[in-house]
């Protein structure tokens, strides 16, 4: 369960204030896979970072039960001078999982070949995301936070990513940010729509998609 209590996030620049979250109160139930929908720039990634604990709300608080992943595919915490394998083993030790098991899983899943044992700084952006996604999926969390990650890589990798993620969802919940409605319907069973700093939760995924599409239509008509 993830509970948002009076969560507000304000970004200020040159005397102007932008409310990304405006006194949000919502509950993401345990075991549900929730699509976080909203236009570009609505603040979905910011809200995901606050849930992950990597960004602090301006006011309010977020309470959670169980373990929550970092945003799946986020590569910002990897050390550039360590190899992919060394970074993987380091993360395994932090989260208390078997280092050999996680390394074997990531090496097979990410498909980086010899690059897995080369410094992370030498990776392309796609390779970094493949490594990060593999590390994320190799650790069992109660809730996974996902930010457009399955768009990474070729069609074969995207298909494998979706398959592994769906397997994780059999025993875990998720909060998923994606603009692909086909992916929303495949991966999610509930929705939360972020619009003008307000968040509305829908138990019915189709109702959430419909509200998001109404918001987008109103935006385009303005």
Report the CATH number at residue 9.
3.40.50.300
Has residue 120 been placed in a domain? no
Structure tokens at 33: 């896979």
Instruction: Give the per-residue pLDDT at 179.
Output: 86
Distance CA 30, CA 63 (A): 12
For residue 149, what pLDDT is reported?
Answer: 59
Region 99-127 average pLDDT: 95
Strand partners, 194: 199
Q: What percent of the chain has pLDDT over 90?
A: 74
Residue 76 has pLDDT above 80, yes or no: no
Residue 207 banded pLDDT, cuts 50, 70, 90 = very high
Q: Is 204 within the bounds of a domain?
A: yes
**Alpha helical stretches, state H, the chain:** 44-52, 84-95, 99-110, 125-137, 155-168, 181-187, 205-221
Residue 127 domain flag: no
Q: What is the rounded distance in angstroms from the CA atom of residue 152 to the CA atom of residue 22?
A: 32
Q: Quick check: 50 and 56 in contact, CB under 8 A? A: yes
pLDDT one-digit tens code per residue, 148-170: 755 566 778 878 888 888 899 99
pLDDT at position 71 = 83
* Residue 204 CB neighbour total at 10 angstroms: 11
Mean pLDDT, residues 12-40: 93
Residue 28 maps to a domain:
yes
4-18 average pLDDT score: 92
What mean pLDDT do residues 204-219 have? 95
Domain that holds residue 178: 1-67+142-153+169-222
CB 8 within 8 A of CB 22: yes
Residue 112 pLDDT greater than 90, yes or no: yes
Give the pLDDT confidence score for residue 161 in this predicted structure.
82
- pLDDT of 109 reads 92
Mean residue pLDDT across the chain = 92
| Domain tally, the chain | 1
Q: Give the pLDDT band (50/70/90) at residue 131.
A: very high
d(CA 165, CA 174): 10
Q: Assess if residue 11 is contained within a domain.
A: yes
Highest mean pLDDT among 71-75, 205-209, 217-221: 205-209
């Amino acid at each position: 369960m993830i509970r948002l209590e009076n969560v507000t996030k304000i970004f200020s620049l040159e005397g102007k204030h932008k409310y990304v979250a405006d006194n949000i109160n919502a509950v993401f139930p345990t075991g549900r896979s929730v699509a976080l929908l909203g236009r570009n720039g609505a603040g979905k990634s910011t809200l995901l970072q606050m849930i992950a604990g990597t960004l602090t709300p301006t006011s309010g608080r977020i309470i959670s039960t169980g373990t929550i992943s970092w945003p799946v595919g986020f590569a910002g915490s990897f050390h550039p001078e360590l190899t992919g394998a060394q970074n993987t083993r380091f993360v395994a030790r932090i989260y208390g999982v078997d280092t050999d098991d996680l390394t074997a899983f990531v090496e097979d899943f990410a498909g980086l070949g010899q690059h897995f044992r080369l410094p992370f700084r030498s990776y392309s952006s796609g390779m970094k995301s493949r490594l990060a996604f593999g590390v994320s999926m190799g650790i069992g969390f109660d809730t996974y936070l996902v930010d457009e990650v399955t768009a990474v890589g070729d069609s074969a990798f995207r298909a494998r990513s979706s398959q592994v993620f769906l397997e994780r969802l059999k025993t875990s919940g998720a909060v998923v940010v994606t603009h692909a409605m086909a992916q929303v319907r495949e991966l999610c069973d509930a929705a939360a729509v972020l619009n003008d700093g307000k968040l509305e939760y829908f138990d019915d995924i189709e109702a959430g998609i419909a509200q998001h599409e109404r918001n987008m239509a109103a935006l385009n008509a303005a």
